[in-house]
Amino acid sequence: MDFKDNEPIYLQIATAVSENILTGKWPAGEKITSIRDLAVELEVNPNTVNRAYELLQNQEVIINKRGMGLFVAQDGAAKIKVLRRERFMQQELPEFFRNVLLLEIPFDDLQPLFERYKVLNSKPTEPTPDENK
Protein backbone atom coordinates (compact mmCIF):
# COMPACT_ATOMS: atom_id res chain seq x y z
CA MET A 1 0.00 0.00 0.00
CA ASP A 2 1.34 3.42 -0.94
CA PHE A 3 0.60 5.92 1.80
CA LYS A 4 -0.15 9.57 1.04
CA ASP A 5 1.55 12.33 2.99
CA ASN A 6 -1.58 14.47 3.37
CA GLU A 7 -3.61 12.05 5.52
CA PRO A 8 -2.77 10.11 8.69
CA ILE A 9 -1.73 6.52 7.97
CA TYR A 10 -4.31 5.03 10.34
CA LEU A 11 -7.10 6.75 8.38
CA GLN A 12 -5.69 5.41 5.12
CA ILE A 13 -5.64 1.91 6.62
CA ALA A 14 -9.23 2.31 7.83
CA THR A 15 -10.20 3.37 4.29
CA ALA A 16 -8.44 0.33 2.80
CA VAL A 17 -10.19 -2.01 5.25
CA SER A 18 -13.49 -0.33 4.37
CA GLU A 19 -12.78 -0.90 0.66
CA ASN A 20 -12.19 -4.60 1.38
CA ILE A 21 -15.58 -4.74 3.07
CA LEU A 22 -17.42 -2.78 0.37
CA THR A 23 -15.96 -4.85 -2.46
CA GLY A 24 -16.86 -8.10 -0.70
CA LYS A 25 -13.27 -9.19 -0.18
CA TRP A 26 -14.11 -9.28 3.53
CA PRO A 27 -17.83 -10.23 3.71
CA ALA A 28 -20.15 -9.66 6.65
CA GLY A 29 -19.45 -12.00 9.54
CA GLU A 30 -15.97 -12.91 8.30
CA LYS A 31 -12.90 -12.68 10.49
CA ILE A 32 -10.53 -9.94 9.35
CA THR A 33 -6.75 -9.89 9.27
CA SER A 34 -5.24 -9.57 12.74
CA ILE A 35 -3.60 -6.35 13.85
CA ARG A 36 -0.16 -7.95 13.91
CA ASP A 37 -0.53 -9.63 10.49
CA LEU A 38 -1.83 -6.48 8.81
CA ALA A 39 0.96 -4.42 10.37
CA VAL A 40 3.55 -6.82 8.96
CA GLU A 41 1.83 -6.84 5.56
CA LEU A 42 1.70 -3.04 5.39
CA GLU A 43 5.08 -2.54 7.08
CA VAL A 44 3.68 -0.23 9.76
CA ASN A 45 3.66 -0.19 13.53
CA PRO A 46 0.94 -2.45 15.03
CA ASN A 47 -0.27 0.56 17.05
CA THR A 48 -1.16 2.28 13.76
CA VAL A 49 -3.29 -0.67 12.62
CA ASN A 50 -4.82 -0.87 16.11
CA ARG A 51 -5.83 2.78 15.85
CA ALA A 52 -7.48 2.14 12.47
CA TYR A 53 -9.33 -0.89 13.82
CA GLU A 54 -10.45 1.06 16.92
CA LEU A 55 -11.91 3.73 14.64
CA LEU A 56 -13.82 1.07 12.67
CA GLN A 57 -15.01 -0.55 15.91
CA ASN A 58 -16.27 2.82 17.17
CA GLN A 59 -18.15 3.19 13.88
CA GLU A 60 -19.55 -0.34 14.43
CA VAL A 61 -18.14 -1.50 11.09
CA ILE A 62 -16.12 -4.27 12.72
CA ILE A 63 -16.78 -6.04 15.99
CA ASN A 64 -14.53 -7.76 18.51
CA LYS A 65 -15.56 -11.26 19.47
CA ARG A 66 -13.67 -11.79 22.70
CA GLY A 67 -11.01 -14.46 22.36
CA MET A 68 -11.77 -14.98 18.66
CA GLY A 69 -10.65 -11.77 16.96
CA LEU A 70 -12.20 -9.02 14.89
CA PHE A 71 -15.05 -9.63 12.46
CA VAL A 72 -16.96 -7.61 9.88
CA ALA A 73 -20.27 -6.51 11.38
CA GLN A 74 -23.39 -7.86 9.66
CA ASP A 75 -24.32 -4.33 8.60
CA GLY A 76 -20.71 -3.13 8.27
CA ALA A 77 -20.92 -2.35 4.55
CA ALA A 78 -24.13 -0.37 5.03
CA LYS A 79 -22.54 1.66 7.83
CA ILE A 80 -19.49 2.40 5.67
CA LYS A 81 -21.75 3.64 2.86
CA VAL A 82 -23.61 5.98 5.20
CA LEU A 83 -20.36 7.42 6.59
CA ARG A 84 -18.70 7.76 3.19
CA ARG A 85 -21.77 9.34 1.59
CA GLU A 86 -21.89 11.89 4.38
CA ARG A 87 -18.18 12.71 3.97
CA PHE A 88 -18.53 12.88 0.19
CA MET A 89 -21.52 15.23 0.37
CA GLN A 90 -19.84 17.53 2.88
CA GLN A 91 -16.23 17.53 1.65
CA GLU A 92 -15.75 16.25 -1.88
CA LEU A 93 -18.93 17.29 -3.69
CA PRO A 94 -18.52 21.03 -2.95
CA GLU A 95 -15.02 20.88 -4.47
CA PHE A 96 -16.38 19.05 -7.51
CA PHE A 97 -19.14 21.66 -7.95
CA ARG A 98 -16.57 24.43 -7.57
CA ASN A 99 -14.52 22.98 -10.43
CA VAL A 100 -17.60 22.46 -12.60
CA LEU A 101 -18.55 26.08 -12.06
CA LEU A 102 -15.04 27.48 -12.61
CA LEU A 103 -14.51 25.42 -15.75
CA GLU A 104 -18.05 26.13 -16.99
CA ILE A 105 -18.79 22.46 -17.60
CA PRO A 106 -22.47 21.90 -18.43
CA PHE A 107 -24.12 19.08 -16.51
CA ASP A 108 -25.28 17.67 -19.85
CA ASP A 109 -21.61 16.97 -20.66
CA LEU A 110 -21.15 15.06 -17.41
CA GLN A 111 -24.00 12.57 -17.81
CA PRO A 112 -22.47 10.55 -20.71
CA LEU A 113 -19.10 10.52 -18.93
CA PHE A 114 -20.71 9.15 -15.78
CA GLU A 115 -22.65 6.52 -17.75
CA ARG A 116 -19.41 5.39 -19.44
CA TYR A 117 -17.65 5.27 -16.07
CA LYS A 118 -20.43 3.08 -14.64
CA VAL A 119 -20.16 0.63 -17.55
CA LEU A 120 -16.39 0.37 -17.25
CA ASN A 121 -16.33 0.10 -13.45
CA SER A 122 -19.41 -1.82 -12.38
CA LYS A 123 -19.33 -5.45 -11.35
CA PRO A 124 -21.19 -7.95 -13.51
CA THR A 125 -24.50 -8.83 -11.95
CA GLU A 126 -25.68 -12.33 -11.15
CA PRO A 127 -28.31 -13.64 -13.59
CA THR A 128 -31.82 -13.75 -12.22
CA PRO A 129 -33.57 -17.14 -12.01
CA ASP A 130 -35.62 -16.19 -15.10
CA GLU A 131 -32.45 -15.52 -17.12
CA ASN A 132 -31.13 -19.01 -16.39
CA LYS A 133 -34.06 -20.61 -18.26
Domains of the chain: 9-76 (1.10.10.10)
| Tens-digit pLDDT profile for residues 16-61 | 999 999 999 999 999 999 999 999 999 999 999 999 999 999 999 9
Residues paired with residue 64 on neighbouring β-strands, in sequence order: 70
Which residue in 77, 114, 120 sits closest to 96, CA to CA? 114
Sequence-ordered list of residues with C-beta below 8 angstroms from that of 41, at least 6 positions apart, any chain: 33
| Tens-digit pLDDT profile for residues 81-131 | 999 999 999 999 999 999 999 999 999 999 999 999 999 987 654 444 444
Buried b (16+ CB within 10 A) or exposed e, 31-52: ebbebeebbeebebeeebbbbb
Helix 9-22 vs helix 46-58: crossing angle, to nearest 10: 60
Query: Alpha helix (H) ranges present in 59-121?
Result: 76-87, 93-102, 107-121
- The pLDDT of 5-15, averaged and rounded, is 94
